[in-house]
Amino acid sequence: MEKIDQYAVFGNPVKHSKSPQIHAAFAAQSGQQLHYRAHKVELGRFADAAGQFFHNDGKGLNITVPFKLDAYEFADELSGRARRAGAVNTLAKGEDDRIYGDNTDGVGMVRDIHDNLGWEISGRRVLILGAGGAVRGILGPLLKQRPEHIVIANRTVAKAEKLAEIFNELGDVRGTCYEALDGGQYDLIINGTSASMSGDLPPLPSQILSSEGCAYDMMYGAEPTPFMRWAAAETAWAVSDGLGMLVEQAAESFCIWRGIRPDTKPVIEAIRQSLAA
């Protein structure tokens, strides 16, 4: 009997993950035979768990919080975007048994913004809220789109400035504090903080969105996030959550593993419907 290729998502917690549903849809759509599951890994046990998975002929892993740095250290070889992001969310076993690490978060978000939503990034004034690992993962692909400039705002300004320094060779990017945003205007604001998870909102001044400004929350849920509601009240031209980013980064992982790029739009719609159910 032929073995079915094994894939998984490692995280803690991971019960809420939509990845098994997404990859099952990709496999069905493309006629691929594979098995994908969510696996909770105990803290401090990532290397052991990943090593065992690949030793038992596992083909690929998605990595979610809090193990993206562990995956970065675990990989034998890193893509350029993973190296710059300093984190890995996709591991793939090569023909030579070496483990390849990549980061698909940024390209997933860019594809969602550009291809699915039809928003422009090139030449735009971009503001990113937060300076954590999630933001570091998206900066490289965003800067490749050649925005006019990117400003990173964070409560701890030193973190924002440090992140800007890491990426400033790719374009005009600088770090600041929320208080310094007053008086500026932006065409695209991306919420990269976890504030939406706790029902909070970063301290943003009014009239910070331009007349054609768009607002994107990297978080998602069944209901609009506090950031999305704020942006709508500020008369944003368009508002979106990060569900499309989730599906698009998964599609990039699927392409790395299987060499096939799935059609993401019906999958985004299916996940959206499941959230509303």
Q: Is 24 annotated as a binding residue?
A: no
Q: How many CB atoms lie within 10 A of CB 200?
A: 12
Q: Is 92 annotated as a binding residue?
A: no
Q: Are 155 and 174 in contact (CB under 8 A)?
A: no
CA-to-CA distance for 219 and 277, rounded, in angstroms? Answer: 19
Q: Is 94 annotated as a binding residue?
A: no
Q: Is 132 annotated as a binding residue?
A: yes
Q: Is 133 annotated as a binding residue?
A: yes
**Is 68 part of the annotated catalytic residue set?**
yes
> Which residues on adjacent β-strands are paired with residue 186?
209
Q: How many CB atoms lie within 10 A of CB 74?
A: 20
Q: Is 15 annotated as a binding residue?
A: no
Q: Is 220 annotated as a binding residue?
A: yes
Q: Is 218 annotated as a binding residue?
A: yes
Q: Are 159 and 137 in contact (CB under 8 A)?
A: no
Catalytic residue, chosen from 68, 93, 162, 265, is 68
CA-to-CA distance for 50 and 32, rounded, in angstroms? Answer: 23
Q: Is 151 annotated as a binding residue?
A: no
CA-to-CA distance for 213 and 220, rounded, in angstroms? Answer: 20
Q: Is 17 annotated as a binding residue?
A: yes
Q: Are 81 and 106 in contact (CB under 8 A)?
A: yes
For residue 199, the Cα-to-chain-centroid distance in whole angstroms is 20
Q: Is 154 annotated as a binding residue?
A: yes
Q: Please report, as a single letter, which amino acid is at residue 51.
A: G
Q: Is 249 annotated as a binding residue?
A: yes
CA-to-CA distance for 86 and 73, rounded, in angstroms? Answer: 9
CA-to-CA distance for 193 and 86, rounded, in angstroms? Answer: 18
Q: Is 64 annotated as a binding residue?
A: yes
CA-to-CA distance for 249 and 109, rounded, in angstroms? Answer: 7
Q: Is 131 annotated as a binding residue?
A: yes
> Which residues on adjacent β-strands are paired with residue 6?
35, 58
Which parts are annotated binding residues? Answer: 17-19, 64, 89, 105, 130-134, 154-159, 218, 220, 242, 249
Could you list the active site residues? 68
Which parts are annotated binding residues for NADP(+)? Answer: 130-134, 154-159, 218, 242
Which parts are annotated binding residues for shikimate? Answer: 17-19, 64, 89, 105, 220, 249
